[in-house]
Amino acid sequence: MTLEMIAILLGGLTIGSALMVVLSKHPVRSVLYLVVTFFMISANYILMNAQFLAIVNIIVYAGAIMVLFLFVLMLLNLNKDSEPVTSIGIKLAGIIAGGVLLTVMLAALKDGLVLTQEAVESANNNGLVENLGELLFTKYVLPFEVSSVLFIAAMVGAVMLAKREKQIID
Amino acid sequence: MVLASIFESGVSIDFYIVLASVLFAIGAVGVMVRRNAIVLLMCIELMLNAVNLLMVAFSTYHGKGDGQVFVFFIMVVAAAEATVGLSILVMAYRNIRSTDVGIFNKLKG
Amino acid sequence: MGADKILLTILALPLIGALINGTLGKNMPKAVVGAIATGVMFTAFALALTLFGGVHKQHLVHLFTMLDLEDFKVVDGKLMDSKLNASFVLDSLSIWMTLIVTGVGSLIHLFSMGYMSHDKGYYKFFTYLNLFIFAMLILVLGSNYFMLFFGWEGVGICSYLLISFHYSDAQKGIANSAAARKAFIMNRIGDLGLLIGLFLIFSQFGTLEYSELADRLLIDKIEPTTWMMFGITLCLFIGATGKSAQIPLFTWLPDAMAGPTPVSALIHAATMVTAGIFLVVRSNFFFEMAPMTQDIMLYVGLTTSLVAAFIALRQNDIKKVLAYSTVSQLGLLFVALGMGAYTAAMFHVTTHAFFKALLFLGSGSVIHAMSDEQDIRVMGGLKKYIPITHITFLIGTLAIAGFPLLSGFYSKDEILAHAVMHNPMIYGILMVSVAMTAIYMFRLYFLVFHGSFRGTSEQQHHLHESPLNMTLPLLVLAVLSVFGGILNLPGVVLKAGTHWMSHYLEHNTRGLEVIETHHLSSSQAMLLMGGAVLMTLIILFGSFVVYVKRGSLAKSDEQLSGWELTSSKKLYFDEIYNFLFVKPLEWISEKMHAFVEVLALNKSVYGFAGLIGKTGDIVRKWQTGVVSNYLFWMVLGVISLVIYYLIKF
């Protein structure tokens, strides 16, 4: 199996699972299909030697965020019957709009391919942890620190929002 | 172990451009069509990941690590956004007992 | 202080008085309000007196330039800029008019302190009066036509405000406002003529300054075509007609008597109505080049003088008689101007200011004594109740009728002398007008002050002499009416020191220095004066016989017939104007309302609004409130943008 065939196969699986995310009627199944999609994408990252990101993708996205989604779904006890139904008109409009969007984006990007630089012809070590870390802590250290502030804000916000209001008992 | 660069073994960059565009379009369709708020948020995550894929592809193509650092930050932001979005959703569910976004139409003209 | 500062102070004082009284007057006690207003006026008069002694040549005071148009006009083959300046000029004419305005004005302010003392709007009255004086001073002191126009409009507005002063009066409020509106509209019609004249002057000469225009016309001898001069002067004369109440724009002046009496004295006797005369005297260099307009002025003035005197013969409201008398005297002044007798006209303006103001203030005193009654048919025998008013009113009447040696006699005689030299027929018609003046004035005097009292007993109880602040101005004006003739004595009796005022004015006013006036020979002048004296004395004696000895009274409305009816109905002028102008306008307005407004405009405007509303209703449905739909439209937007850029490049 050449690398090409693996890449195409992975691509197809990714698209397939993404489609199932959108199409499935049971919300829990949508979540699970999304997890599969993330795994596929991580596989793509490994193909491109972006090792750190592949692992981080699985840990953060598939492991933390999707689990969070699953918790909320279970908490709200949603199932296939309580799923709202969209009218056929909106579905049609949405699909057509999405299709046109895809076509237009590809049309716009097709001519650009001639102008992109040549690929770098060497084994690519940039995805390794130490190289990425070096870049992260020298050139991008400010966004790195600021993102910690972002996390604090998100945590505080989430806790404040989800707190149950205290019932005052007279 | 170092894998050979994928772009030297025949996969062209168009492949990843097409793949990312398709994933993005699927995510857009999902946001337009689905009415469950949680599935909506998930489709947004899908779109973000399509962008991440493209960024990593180009980072490898050009041989610079900046693309991957940017992906790192996109993940940070996506995580924060998902967290806050879900907590808002939970609070809204407590009042309305439903996650249908069609119900949140107070901005209707 | 230099002359500049004094001039600006004279201008600023009434304005400051108006501002203080206008803003703070409501809360100040009446004595303070009156003191400020009158004090300002007397100070201005005193300052004007210092200027009178000190200025020997024309002196220009420049404040600022309002408009500077570069390269506007071609003069002598090169372009030059035109400027509109806010600047003032001190020459004989302007200082003289300032003296009249501030002098008579301050006496009238003093009178108003007593006359209006029971009025609620006391502070408002003095604010308007001071504002009027300010506008009038700008009019007379301005050094170009633009300042004149500014003052012209200012006095028009103040006249409107003052005529309709009692606009909220229960019985006559609407009539007062209607009278004010009529005055304003008629003035406006005249102002249109004045504006066109100013535009013509500006386009022909590129400047509005008197001195520059005089230079161009007299020294450089630049002469536009005869028709242009005719047009300019005719337009200026139309402006003067509106302001100085000549035919056909005179009916506002009798109606303007609806305002309080000090207003009538100040505005409609001494100052505002002389603005038209002032305009013509200032523009003498224009009028001297347009003999056709001078003829028109002469005949219009003559007709007005006759018509107004005729109407005054049978009027029964004391103020209306005086109003028509003013119109008649203004007609006489325009006759003088039409003959080129500018200094004689200014002399008569001065004396007329004295005795007409005296007569109006006297009538105000009478009205005050009669508890606001103005009909002379219920007055009579007042001479024993209000002696000071009686004596001063008598002096005023004698002055206006041309009793020998009083001021009016000299000024009228001057004009009559010019008439004889110009055209003896004019002299004859003028004598008729002068005779009628004497007749109606003596009728007024005898009916009011002689005979027995014809009013109610309650009015009789209230008859009392006016307080000092009302009688003092009357006395001062009476003295001036008696001795005012000294200003311009003819060269008949004395050989030296005569025609002082004519020389004073000619010495320093542009244009007048080149106009030569011939003087009659001594014998001709004596003959003239003798004839006038004889006529006046005959009429005096005749009126005395008719009204006192025979005791005939003014007829009541039902008994009138023939010429008396026509006279008392004001020659039906108002009815004619109503028929010719007002009714057609109202008809047009109604038709426009019914057709254009209701059918076309309302439907289209409301229809348009309704259309917008309906469109909004439809478009509104686009906002569903569902986020997914919004994203759909966003995607469509992105698509269209990308397609646009794809196609473009």
Mean pLDDT of chain C: 84
Find the helix or strand (DSSP H, E) in which C63 lies.
strand C59-75
* Amino acid present at C547: Y
**Locate tokens 């009496």: which residue?**
C261
Partners of residue A107 in chain C, C-beta under 8 Å: 642, 646
Q: Does the beta-carbon distance from B101 to C626 stay under 8 Å?
A: yes
All structural domains of chain B, each given as residue ranges with its CATH number in brackets, are 13-98 (1.10.287.3510)
Residues of chain B by 3-state class (helix, strand, coil), percent to 5: 80, 0, 20
Q: Is the dihedral of CA C477, C351, C498, C438 positive or negative?
A: negative
Q: Examine the domain organization and report whether A139 and A62 are in the same domain.
A: no
Contact in structure between C403 and C434 (CB atoms under 8 Å):
no
Q: Which residues of A touch C638 (CB under 8 A)?
A: 101
A15 domain residue, yes or no: yes
Structure tokens at C643: 């397609």
Identify which of A100, A101, A107 has the shortest CB distance to residue C646.
A107
Q: Which residues on chain A are in Cβ contact (under 8 Å) with C625?
A: none
Whether the CB of C624 is below 8 Å from some CB of chain A: the reply is no
Percentage of chain C with pLDDT > 90?
22
* Two structure tokens written together for C563: 């010429």
Q: Which residue has the tokens 């002689």?
A: C450
More confident residue, C202 or A36: A36
Where is mean pLDDT largest: A57-61, C250-254, C543-547?
A57-61
Domain final position from A52, A82, A112: A82
Neighbours of C, requiring at least 3 CB pairs below 8 Å, are A, B
Query: C1, C39 in Cβ contact below 8 A?
Result: no
**pLDDT in the model for residue C44:** 92
pLDDT in tens, C73-83: 666 666 667 77
Residue that has been written with the tokens 């909320």 in this structure: A72
Question: What percentage of chain C has pLDDT greater than the value 70?
Answer: 91
Q: What average pLDDT score do residues C314-330 get?
A: 90
Partner A, chain B 27-56, Cβ-Cβ below 8 Å: 27-30, 32-36, 38-39, 41-43, 45-46, 49, 52-53, 56
Tokens representing C230 are 């005719």
C-alpha A12/C-alpha B18 separation (Å) is 11
Measure in Å the smallest separation between the Cα of C633 and chain B Cα atoms: 9
CA dist., res. B75 & res. C220, Å (int): 92
Q: In chain C, where are the structural domains located?
A: 305-556, 589-648
* Chosen from B24, B29, B31, B43 to mutate, greatest number of chain C CBs within 10 A: B31
Using the Cβ of B14 and the Cβ atoms of chain A, whether some distance falls under 8 Å is answered with yes
pLDDT at residue C510 greater than cutoff 80? no
Note the Cα C36 to chain centre separation in Å. 25
Q: Can you give the pLDDT at residue C157?
A: 92
> C425 burial class (0-12, 13-18, 19+ CB within 10 angstroms)?
exposed
| Number of Cβ within a 10 Å radius of residue C37 | 28
Contact yes or no for B84 and A161 at CB 8 A: yes
* pLDDT, average across residues C416-429: 86
Q: Which residue of B has its CA nearest to C631?
A: B32
A165 φ/ψ angles, rounded to the nearest 5 degrees? -70, 140
Q: Give contacts of C629 with chain A, Cβ < 8 Å.
A: 90
- Which residues neighbour C214 within 8 Å (Cβ) at sequence distance 6 or greater? C285, C510, C511
Read off the pLDDT of each residue in A100-120 and give the average, rounded to a whole number.
Answer: 76
A94 found inside a domain? no
| DSSP-derived secondary structure for C493-552 | S-SSS-SHHHHHHHHHSTTTTT-------HHHHHHHHHHHHHHHHHHHHHHIIIIIIS--
Helix axes C275-282, C226-243, angle to 10 degrees: 160
Do B75 and A57 form a contact (C-beta atoms < 8 A)? yes
Instruction: Look at B22 and A52 and tell me if their CB atoms are within 8 Å.
Output: no
Which pLDDT score is estimated for B1? Answer: 40
Is the Cα torsion angle C111, C117, C119, C121 positive or negative in sign? positive
Q: What is the pLDDT of residue B50?
A: 96
* Beta-carbon separation of C643 and A97 below 8 A: no
pLDDT band of residue C383 (cuts 50, 70, 90) is confident
Q: How many beta-carbon pairs below 8 A join chains A and C?
A: 25
| Tokens of residue B55, six digits | 């960024």
User: What pLDDT does C558 receive?
Assistant: 67
Nearest by CB to A78, from B28, B76, B99: name it: B99
Split into its structural domains, chain A has a count of 2
- Is B96 in the A-facing interface, judged by CB distances under 8 Å? no
List b or e across C538-573, with b for residues whose CB sees 16 or more CB atoms inside 10 angstroms: ebbeebeeebeeeeeebeeeeebeeeeeebbebeeb
Query: How far B46 CA sits from the closest chain A CA (Å)?
Result: 8
- pLDDT given for residue B103 in this prediction: 83
Q: What are the b/e assignments for C611-643, b being 16+ CB within 10 Å?
A: eeeeeeeeeeeeeeebbbbbbbeebeebbeebe
Q: B40 and C627: CB-CB below 8 Å?
A: yes
Nearest to B102 among C626, C631, C635 (CB): C626
Which domain CATH number covers A77? Answer: 1.20.120.1200
In a domain, A12, yes or no: yes
Domain that holds residue A4: 1-82
Nearest-CA distance B24 → chain C (Å) = 12
- In this structure, is residue A35 part of a structural domain? yes
Looking at residue B97, what DSSP letter applies? S
CA terminus-to-terminus distance, chain B: 60
Q: Which of residues 42-101 of B touch C (CB under 8 A)?
A: 101
The values of phi and psi at residue C9, to 5°, are -65, -40
Element (H, E) at C70: strand C59-75
In contact, C89 and C38? CB cutoff 8 Å: no
Q: Confidence band (pLDDT; 50, 70, 90) for C567?
A: confident
Residues A78 and A136 in one domain: no
* Residue where a domain terminates, one of A55, A82, A109: A82
Highest mean predicted confidence (pLDDT) among B45-49, C115-119, C162-166, C528-532: B45-49
DSSP character for C572? Answer: G
| C624, C626, C627, C638, best to mutate vs chain A, most A CBs in 10 Å | C638
- Are C13 and C109 in contact by the 8 Å Cβ rule? The answer is no
**Least confident stretch, A147-156, B78-87, C271-280, C633-642:** C271-280
CA distance C141 to C97: 8
Q: Does A142 touch chain B (CB under 8 A)?
A: no
Least reliable range by pLDDT among B32-46, C160-174, C273-287, C504-518: C504-518
Chain B residues with beta carbon closer than 8 angstroms to that of A78: 36, 38, 99
Question: Chain B: residue nearest A130 by CA?
Answer: B65
- CB-nearest to A104 from C628, C629, C643 is C643
How far are the Cα atoms of A4, A113, B11, B71 from residue B7, in angstroms, in the given order? 10, 14, 5, 20
Shortest Cα–Cα distance, B102 to chain C (Å): 5
Q: Which residues of A touch C636 (CB under 8 A)?
A: 97
Contact C417, C528 (CB under 8 A): yes
CA distances from B2 to A129, A135, C55, C468 (A): 13, 19, 110, 122
Say how far apart CA B104 and CA B89 lie, in whole Å.
Answer: 11
Q: Rounded distance, CA A66 to CA A38, Å? A: 10
B83 at A interface, C-beta within 8 A: yes
Exposed/middle/buried for residue C607 (C-beta within 10 Å: 0-12, 13-18, 19+):
exposed
C642 touches chain A (CB under 8 A): yes
Q: For each of chain B's 109 residues, which pLDDT tens digit applies?
A: 445 577 777 778 888 999 999 999 999 999 999 888 899 999 999 999 999 999 999 888 888 888 999 999 999 999 999 999 999 888 888 888 888 888 887 877 6
Query: Which of A41, A145, A155 should be substituted to probe chain B, the one whose Cβ sees the most B Cβ atoms within 10 Å?
Result: A41
CA dihedral A3, A9, A14, A16 (to 10 degrees): 170
Residue closest to A124 by CA, chosen among A46, A48, A44, A45: A48
A110 within some domain: no
The tokens for C93 are 């004419």
pLDDT digits (tens, 9 = 90+) for A80-92: 777 777 788 888 9
Who wins on pLDDT, C525 or C292?
Answer: C292
Encoding tokens for residue C574?
């108002």
**How open is the CA angle C367-C368-C369, to the nearest 5 degrees?**
90
Contact yes or no for B68 and A154 at CB 8 A: no
Size of interface B-C (CB pairs under 8 A): 36
Is there a contact between C635 and A97 if contact means CB atoms under 8 Å apart? yes
Residue of A nearest to B10 (CA): A4
Give the nearest partner residue to C631 out of B32, B102, B105, using CB atoms: B32
Q: Kindly state the average pLDDT of the residues A4-19.
A: 92
Residue C47 contacts residue C122 (beta carbons within 8 Å): no
In the DSSP assignment, the letter for residue C216 is: I
Across the interface, whether the CB atoms of C624 and B40 are under 8 A apart is answered no
Place C342 in a pLDDT band, splitting at 50, 70 and 90. confident
- Judge whether A117 lies within some domain: no
**A117-121, B55-59, C111-115, C377-381 — which is least confidently predicted?**
A117-121
Do residues C266 and C129 touch, judged by C-beta distance below 8 A? yes
Please give the ipTM for the structure prediction: 0.89
Q: Of B83, B77, B44, give the one whose Cα is nearest residue A65.
A: B83
Residue B23 CA to residue A16 CA, distance in Å, equals: 10
- CA-nearest residue to B102 within chain C is C626
In angstroms, the CA C287 to CA B86 distance is: 94
Of C621, C624, C631, the CB nearest to B31: C631
Count Cα neighbours of A105 within 13 Å in the Cβ-side half-sphere. Answer: 21
Partners of residue C639 in chain B, C-beta under 8 Å: none
> Nearest CB to A108: which of C628, C636, C646?
C646
Top residue of B45, B47, B98 to mutate, by most chain A CBs within 10 Å, is: B45
Name the more confident of C549 and C287: C287
C638: which chain B residues are within 8 Å (Cβ-Cβ)?
none
Instruction: Indicate whether A70 and A131 sit together in one domain.
Output: no
**A141 and A77, same domain (yes or no):** no
Tokens of C556: 């009541």
Q: Average pLDDT for residues A96-113, to the nearest whole number?
A: 85
Residue A114 lies in a domain: no
- The more confidently predicted of residues B11 and C286 is C286
